[in-house]
Structures are given as structure tokens and as C-alpha cells.
């Protein structure tokens, strides 16, 4: 049960009240004489709970899988609190199994796999013991239907609740798991995101839709969940730090007084030009980004501006005029490459350029102001830019004033002003990045300068284990871009202190390094298990064929004629290693399966005792015939049945069988005379058969 509840916890469906109910049920299981709710009370709870689930699904939009997870928790709690015997334990085990399976769709965490392995071992062991306990209950009830099962009836199973049996079950399960993993890499399969994309609610990432309200990005910064993992390289292939880079998401141009939106949301389809390995030849670039983007509720592709080319294994892509790029495929983990030129002009290069000379269409679009804008915004802009002689100096003056005289905070105090921007500038003077970017953009617009705000991420955290940079939700950021005639859009960042969450690769402590290795383990889990599909399998097979083709030589042959166009490409080393590993795993599993089985750990005296016990059971079954109890299935139960038939003849039968169990499964020594006693017991069983066949005797 703890494994099942823990799996749902990993899947995010066991928080708050549900977690308390789960822990309370486990604690109640350890209290045998607990008070019990009457059947009518449980019926009322069940009807009320089903009504609650229906309302949550129909009126509050609770996802189907979340409803099913809550139902499993309630059913498990009910089953535990109303437990009467071993049969209820079997139901509880299968409910926990359903919880573990459901969590496999709710989470991609590698911890789920470790929990699943532990559950598999415990589940098999518990099913074995519970089945024996169920048989013991049935045997006693067949003989004494009006009396509860006494503690003495369970003593024959005590020898099974020991480490040797648990370790044996664990070894068997690990062998089966290894065989299953071998089949995993061989049998055709789909990528896991193909299933989860249609069943699960996506991970919500605010600020990357066509409309963003003030405050959404600040709320996003409260989470440390990874958004993407990046490796950055220069034009020569050398690693480049990513701690100070801006990751462009969407540029928004229209402000309605409460939030920003894209005024022209028409998307332009972009044609595919094939996979590039050396970068775009027609546009300058100095930075290459290898990005793995997590599944989000937004289809935006993040990149370092200005992008010269974006390449990935996706079928199509769309763009908007504000330099935003969208995927058209279902939500899934995406890996793509971006080539960019992030160089920004210096203030001296910008002083000779006047943004007010922009084309009329661009100027009208990017100097728009809402009709409800407070006049205090223009007054402050005039005061702050007084004495500046160029557009870039005016922008730097506003940026400096916001950075030095205002405070960065995720908890913005309430204000009496109805206008949130006026409240930020006049009274509160603290907030998160959207307020700083919005204030600067609108103040410059009152001066006739075309501006826009950009929502994306700023900075990253270095992971030395995987040698990549992690961009988290807490790195979400908004900044300002100002248009110049010769330089295009130039970045200005008015957010103080935290710089939007920029993080350098500082010296890491022990805990940070452990977290880095944990994140790298999740990356490997996703790459090897979750993202492994038929395309990966086909790539591994092609890599093996390319390797075999190299041994064949240049002459004609079957492999030389196979996909000649592909032979010109460089070998895919990862695919080759994956294919070779799959073949090796299969060979090892076949060798283990075909290896002759031996049992050197069972001593000869114990094997003789087992043969004597088999003769005893066989003769009792023959003596019982059709009149014997059908529920009796264990040697201990047969011994009890024989003692009931003839107490004098089989007075020591249960003791001898219990001694065998203790020696075989409990790790105890073979007592002297055990094999002789069981052999004599088998001979006496033959006498019981004769007695039953001859009433006169």
C-alpha cells in the first residue's frame, strides 16, 4: 500500500488531505481492534464521494486520470478500514498495483522505476503468503465454521516469513525484469509522450501564450521545475557559458492596461530545409544551442536571439512577425538545434540612430498606448529622460532609474490605485520583472520610441554531471526591446538586483552535486526509456548494418546495395552502441534461460525429507478420495486433516511438517531423525488408506 500511495505522490495526485487519508489508512491497518464504521455509514460516504467526483469532472474540469487516482485512493482506504481477512488483502494488493500503473502515466520520474521494482518484489512475496493464508482460513472454516481462526493455525506459515524466501522472490523478479528490459529494446513500441499527450494535462508555463496578464511570470518563478536543458557551443565547437544568455519566447506588442498580447497573431508556415549539421550558410551566427525542451502547455520554441536557423526532428514549424516560433505537432519532449548571433551593439554605435524615423506601420504598432493609461506615466518619463540627447541615452536613463530606485519582489503589496502600473511607479515601487519591463516599455512609448516586451528565460544553472545548462521555471523573465534603424531590436533589462534570475556557475556543494547527478539520471532515464521508440530502434538497426557494411568492403554485396544514400552519412555512434547493447542483452538472457538449473544449496538430507513428504501427501489424497476437503492444498493442512481422521496415528504429523518448513524455508538446521520421521509418517498414511477402504478392519 505504501508503494501504491508513494507512486501517486510522485505523479502529483496525493497531496494535502489525500496524503493524510493514505497515512491514516496505513496506520489503521496496524491497529487490529480499531473501531469500525457501520455498513450504512460507508454506503453514505461512497455515494457522497461518487457525487463529488462527478461534480469535479463535469463542472471544475478535473482531468479523467486525476479523478481515477482519487477513486483508487478512496477505494483503497475503504478496503483497509473494512478488512476482515486475507481475501481483503488480495484486493488491497491489486488496488495498489493499479495505483502504480496509473502513476506510470502521471510521471516521468526515474524514482518511479525504482519504486516499481520494489513493489514488484513485495507484491510477489505478499501474494504468495496471502494465498497460503487464504488456504489456511478456508481449511479452518471448513472444519470449524462457527469459530474464528486461532493464532495457532498460522504457525505453519511462520517459517515462510523470513529473509531466504524474500531474497529468492527478489532474485526471480530481477531476472524477469532483466528479460523484460531486453524485450523492451527489441519489440516495436511507441514513444511514451504519444500516449500521455492526449490523456494528461500539460505542465503549465505561464507567459508564453498570445496574451499575458501582469503577474503571471512572477508566479512562474516560484517553481524550480526544469523547462529545458541546453548545451551551448561557439562557431569553433568550443563550450560557451549560458549563465548570461536570454532565451527568447514571445515578443508582445499591444498593452490593454492589464496585460500584453500579440496584435497580429497570424502564423506563417515555414518550409523544411532538411537537417543541418554545419549551420545555415546564408546568415551569420556565432552560437550553437543544442536544446532539449520538456513537454509544456505552450508550443513555443525558445532560442537565443537573433536566430539564424532552427533544425529538429519535427515535421513543420510556424512563425509570427514578432520573432516567435511555434510547433504544430502534439506536445512532447523536443530536441532541436538553434544557430544564433546574440551580439548586441554598444551605446556608442546606437547614439547616431533615431528610432523615431521608423516606418509608419512599425511606429504605429510599437508606440501604441492604452486609452486608460495614467498621465503620471508620461510625466515620470519626461522627468527621468530630461537632459538626454539620444534615444539610447533616454532608454539607459529609464533603465538605470528602475534598477536603482525600485526593488525586485515576488510578493507585490496591495495598492489603493486601480491602475496596477501607476501603483507600481508611484506607490509600491517594487514588483517582479513584468512590471519593470512594462513600465520601461510604456514610458519610452510616451517619448515616441517603438518598444515591445519579450517573455522568455534569462540565465541557466550549470550541471557538471551531464555537462549541460538547466533552465528552470524560476528563470522566467521579461525584458524590453527597443527598435533602431540599423541594428533592429536591441535588448534592455530594467529588472534590478536579481537580473531576472540570472545564475552563474558557482562552486557547488555536496547537496548541489547530488541534485545535479539526480537531474542527470532523469535525463538518461528519459533518453534511454521514455524517448525510445520505433525511430530509435530503426536507427540502431541501420547503425549495425552500416558497421557490417564496413566489414564487407567496397565490392558488390547485399549490404552495399542497402540504402546507398545513407552510406554517405557519418555513422550514428549512439545508435550503433544502442543496437550492439540490445544484441548483447538478448544473448545474455538466452544464455541464462538455457543454462541447466541446479540446486546445490539444498542438502541431501532435506531432499530425502521432501520426497518422504511428497509420498505422505500423495497417499493422503488417495485415501481421502472424493470425500476429502477440496480446499486443503498444503502439507501442513493435510497433516491437520490426517490428525482429525486418526488422532492416535498422526499425533506428531503437524510437528514433523513444521520442522521440515523451518529447515527448508526458515534457514534452520535439519533436525536429527526428520527424514526418518517423515518416511514413517508416509508409511502410516498408507495404513489410513487401508482403514478407510476396509470398514470391518
Residue 67: pLDDT over 80: yes
Task: Please state, in angstroms and rounded to a whole number, the distance separating the CA atoms of residues 221 and 206.
Answer: 10
Going by C-alpha positions, the residue among 149, 126, 145, 127 that lies closest to residue 136 is: 149
What mean pLDDT do residues 378-402 have? Answer: 93
Tell me, yes or no, whether 150 and 132 share the same domain: yes
Q: What is the band of 340 on the pLDDT scale with cuts at 50, 70, 90?
A: very high
Residue 77: pLDDT over 70: yes
More confident residue, 48 or 196: 48
Q: Give pLDDT, residue 560.
A: 41
Task: Please state, in angstroms and rounded to a whole number, the distance separating the CA atoms of residues 164 and 523.
Answer: 36
For 323, the 3-state DSSP assignment is coil
Instruction: Kindly state the cell numbers that stand for 359.
Output: 516606418
In a domain, 665, yes or no: yes
Q: What is the band of 270 on the pLDDT scale with cuts at 50, 70, 90?
A: confident
The dihedral formed by the CA atoms of 636, 638, 639 and 645, expressed in degrees to the nearest 10: 150
Q: Give pLDDT, residue 232.
A: 94
Tell me, yes or no, whether 307 and 166 share the same domain: no
pLDDT digits (tens, 9 = 90+) for 118-146: 898 888 888 888 888 888 888 887 878 77
In a domain, 517, yes or no: no
Instruction: Kindly state the cell numbers that stand for 636.
Output: 501442513
Tell me, yes or no, whether 414 and 267 share the same domain: yes
* Percent of the chain whose pLDDT exceeds 90: 20
Q: Give pLDDT, residue 606.
A: 82
In a domain, 203, yes or no: no
In a domain, 520, yes or no: no
For 681, the 3-state DSSP assignment is helix
In a domain, 518, yes or no: no
What mean pLDDT do residues 40-53 have? Answer: 88
pLDDT digits (tens, 9 = 90+) for 633-691: 678 888 888 888 888 888 888 888 888 888 877 766 777 788 888 888 888 887 775 55
Average pLDDT, the chain: 78
Q: What is the domain count for the chain? A: 4
What are the angstrom distances between the C-alpha of 49 and each of 54, 55, 75, 78?
A: 9, 10, 10, 12
Tell me, yes or no, whether 497 and 456 share the same domain: yes
Which range marks the domain in which residue 264 is found? 209-509
Q: Which of 196, 221, 237 is the last residue of a domain?
A: 196
Q: Give pLDDT, residue 126.
A: 86
In a domain, 463, yes or no: yes
Q: Give pLDDT, residue 562.
A: 36
Residue 243: pLDDT over 50: yes
Q: What is the band of 244 on the pLDDT scale with cuts at 50, 70, 90?
A: confident
DSSP conformational letter for 367 = T
Tell me, yes or no, whether 485 and 580 share the same domain: no
Tell me, yes or no, whether 637 and 579 share the same domain: no
Rounded to a whole number of angstroms, the CA Rg of the chain reads: 36
pLDDT digits (tens, 9 = 90+) for 477-498: 899 999 999 999 999 999 986 5
Q: Give pLDDT, residue 565.
A: 36
Task: Please state, in angstroms and rounded to a whole number, the distance separating the CA atoms of residues 631 and 390.
Answer: 96
What are the angstrom distances between the C-alpha of 612 and each of 163, 575, 662, 665?
A: 26, 57, 16, 17
Residue 461 contacts residue 503 (beta carbons within 8 Å): yes
What are the angstrom distances between the C-alpha of 463 and each of 87, 234, 531?
A: 50, 19, 21
Tell me, yes or no, whether 550 and 419 share the same domain: no
pLDDT digits (tens, 9 = 90+) for 552-584: 554 444 334 434 434 434 444 454 455 556 556
Going by C-alpha positions, the residue among 134, 138, 72, 147 that lies closest to residue 106 is: 72
Residue 629: pLDDT over 60: no
CA 430 to chain centre: 36
Do strands 407-408 and 430-431 pair parallel, antiparallel, or not at all (unpaired)?
parallel
pTM of the model: 0.56
In a domain, 626, yes or no: yes
Residue 99 contacts residue 72 (beta carbons within 8 Å): yes
Beta-carbon contacts of residue 540 (< 8 Å; ≥ 6 apart): 575, 576, 578, 579, 582
Tell me, yes or no, whether 505 and 590 share the same domain: no
- DSSP characters for 465-526? TTTEEEEEGGGEEEEEEEEETTTEEEEE----TTTTT----PPP-HHHHHHHHHHHHHHHHI
What mean pLDDT do residues 614-620 have? Answer: 86
Q: Give pLDDT, residue 427.
A: 85
Tell me, yes or no, whether 88 and 65 share the same domain: yes
Going by C-alpha positions, the residue among 598, 599, 597, 592 that lies closest to residue 179 is: 592
Tell me, yes or no, whether 433 and 548 share the same domain: no
More confident residue, 182 or 53: 53
Tell me, yes or no, whether 332 and 382 share the same domain: yes
Listed in sequence order, the DSSP H helices in 244-372 are 347-350, 360-366
In a domain, 429, yes or no: yes
More confident residue, 525 or 568: 525
pLDDT digits (tens, 9 = 90+) for 102-116: 888 777 677 888 888
User: Which strand (E) or helix (H) includes residue 453?
Assistant: strand 451-458
Q: Which of 196, 223, 242 is the last residue of a domain?
A: 196
Name the E strands within 207-356. Answer: 211-213, 226-234, 246-252, 254-255, 259-261, 268-270, 287-293, 307-312, 317-320, 324-327, 334-340
Q: What is the band of 248 on the pLDDT scale with cuts at 50, 70, 90?
A: very high
Task: Please state, in angstroms and rounded to a whole number, the distance separating the CA atoms of residues 260 and 251.
Answer: 9
Q: What is the band of 595 on the pLDDT scale with cuts at 50, 70, 90?
A: low
Task: Please state, in angstroms and rounded to a whole number, the distance separating the CA atoms of residues 614 and 653.
Answer: 13
Tell me, yes or no, whether 414 and 316 share the same domain: yes
Q: What is the band of 196 on the pLDDT scale with cuts at 50, 70, 90?
A: very low
Q: Give pLDDT, residue 356.
A: 92
For 211, the 3-state DSSP assignment is strand
Q: Give pLDDT, residue 548.
A: 63
What mean pLDDT do residues 40-59 have? Answer: 88
pLDDT digits (tens, 9 = 90+) for 82-102: 887 788 888 889 999 999 988
Amino acid at each position: 500500500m505504501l508503494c501504491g500511495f508513494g507512486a501517486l505522490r510522485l505523479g502529483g495526485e496525493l497531496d494535502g488531505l489525500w496524503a493524510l487519508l493514505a497515512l491514516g489508512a496505513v496506520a489503521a491497518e496496524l491497529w487490529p481492534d480499531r473501531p469500525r464504521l457501520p455498513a450504512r455509514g460507508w454506503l453514505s460516504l461512497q455515494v457522497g464521494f461518487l457525487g463529488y467526483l462527478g461534480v469535479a469532472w463535469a463542472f471544475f474540469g478535473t482531468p479523467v486520470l486525476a479523478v481515477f487516482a482519487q477513486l483508487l485512493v478512496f477505494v483503497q482506504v475503504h478496503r483497509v478500514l473494512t478488512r476482515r481477512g486475507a481475501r481483503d488483502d488480495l484486493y488491497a494488493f491489486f488496488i495498489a498495483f493499479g495505483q502504480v500503473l496509473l502513476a506510470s502515466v502521471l510521471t516521468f520520474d526515474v524514482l518511479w522505476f525504482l519504486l516499481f521494482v520494489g513493489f514488484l518484489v513485495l507484491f510477489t512475496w505478499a501474494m504468495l503468503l496471502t494465498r497460503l493464508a487464504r488456504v489456511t482460513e478456508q481449511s479452518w472454516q471448513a472444519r470449524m465454521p462457527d469459530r474464528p481462526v486461532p493464532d495457532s493455525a498460522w504457525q505453519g506459515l511462520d517459517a515462510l516469513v523470513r529473509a531466504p524466501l524474500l531474497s529468492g522472490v527478489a532474485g526471480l523478479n530481477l531476472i524477469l525484469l532483466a528479460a523484460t528490459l531486453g524485450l523492451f529494446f527489441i519489440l516495436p513500441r511507441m514513444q511514451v509522450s504519444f500516449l500521455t499527450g492526449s490523456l494528461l494535462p500539460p505542465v503549465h508555463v505561464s507567459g508564453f501564450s498570445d496574451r499575458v496578464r501582469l503577474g503571471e511570470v512572477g508566479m512562474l518563478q516560484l517553481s524550480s521545475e526544469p523547462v529545458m536543458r541546453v548545451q551551448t557551443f561557439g562557431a569553433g565547437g568550443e563550450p560557451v557559458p549560458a549563465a548570461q544568455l536570454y532565451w527568447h519566447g514571445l515578443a508582445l506588442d499591444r498593452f490593454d492596461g492589464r496585460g500584453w498580447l500579440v496584435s497580429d497573431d497570424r502564423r506563417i508556415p515555414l518550409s523544411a530545409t532538411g537537417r543541418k549539421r554545419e549551420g545555415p550558410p546564408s546568415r551569420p551566427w556565432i552560437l550553437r544551442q543544442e536544446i532539449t525542451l520538456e513537454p509544456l502547455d505552450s508550443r513555443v520554441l525558445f532560442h537565443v536571439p537573433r536566430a539564424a536557423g532552427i533544425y529538429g526532428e519535427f515535421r513543420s514549424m510556424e512563425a509570427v512577425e514578432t520573432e516567435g516560433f511555434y510547433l504544430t505537432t502534439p506536445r512532447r519532449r523536443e530536441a532541436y538545434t538553434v544557430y544564433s548571433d546574440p551580439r548586441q551593439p554598444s551605446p556608442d554605435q546606437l547614439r547616431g540612430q533615431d528610432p523615431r524615423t521608423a516606418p509608419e506601420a512599425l511606429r504605429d504598432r510599437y508606440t501604441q498606448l492604452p486609452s486608460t493609461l495614467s498621465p503620471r506615466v508620461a510625466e515620470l518619463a519626461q522627468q527621468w529622460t530630461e537632459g538626454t540627447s539620444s534615444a539610447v541615452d533616454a532608454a539607459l536613463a529609464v533603465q538605470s532609474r528602475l534598477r536603482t530606485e525600485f526593488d525586485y519582489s515576488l510578493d507585490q503589496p496591495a495598492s489603493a490605485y486601480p491602475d496596477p502600473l501607476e501603483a507600481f511607479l508611484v506607490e509600491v515601487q517594487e514588483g517582479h520583472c513584468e512590471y519593470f519591463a512594462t513600465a520601461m516599455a510604456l514610458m519610452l512609448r510616451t517619448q515616441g520610441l517603438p518598444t515591445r516586451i519579450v517573455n522568455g528565460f534569462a540565465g541557466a544553472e550549470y550541471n557538471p554531471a551531464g555537462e549541460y545548462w538547466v533552465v528552470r521555471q524560476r528563470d522566467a523573465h521579461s525584458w524590453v526591446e527597443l527598435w533602431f534603424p540599423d541594428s533592429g531590436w536591441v535588448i534592455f533589462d530594467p529588472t534590478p538586483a536579481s537580473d531576472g534570475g540570472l545564475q552563474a556557475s558557482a562552486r557547488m556543494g555536496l547537496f548541489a552535486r547530488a541534485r545535479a547527478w539526480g537531474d542527470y539520471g532523469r535525463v538518461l532515464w528519459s533518453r534511454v526509456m521514455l524517448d525510445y521508440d520505433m525511430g530509435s530502434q530503426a536507427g540502431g538497426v541501420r547503425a549495425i548494418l552500416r558497421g557490417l557494411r564496413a566489414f564487407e568492403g567496397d565490392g558488390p554485396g547485399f549490404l552495399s546495395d542497402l540504402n546507398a544514400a545513407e552510406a554517405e552519412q557519418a555513422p550514428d555512434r549512439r545508435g550503433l552502441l544502442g543496437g550492439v547493447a540490445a544484441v548483447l542483452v538478448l544473448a545474455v538472457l538466452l544464455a541464462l534461460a538455457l543454462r541447466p538449473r541446479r540446486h546445490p544449496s539444498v542438502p541431501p538430507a532435506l531432499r530425502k525429507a521432501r520426497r518422504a513428504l511428497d509420498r505422505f501427501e500423495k497417499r493422503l489424497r488417495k485415501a481421502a478420495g472424493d470425500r476429502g476437503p477440496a480446499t486443503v492444498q498444503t502439507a501442513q493442512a493435510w497433516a491437520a486433516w490426517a490428525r482429525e481422521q486418526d488422532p492416535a496415528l498422526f499425533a506428531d504429523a503437524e510437528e514433523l511438517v513444521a520442522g521440515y518448513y523451518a529447515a527448508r524455508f526458515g534457514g534452520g538446521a535439519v533436525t536429527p531423525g526428520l527424514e526418518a520421521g517423515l518416511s514413517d509418517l508416509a508409511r502410516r498414511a498408507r495404513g489410513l488408506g487401508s482403514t478407510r477402504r476396509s470398514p470391518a478392519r
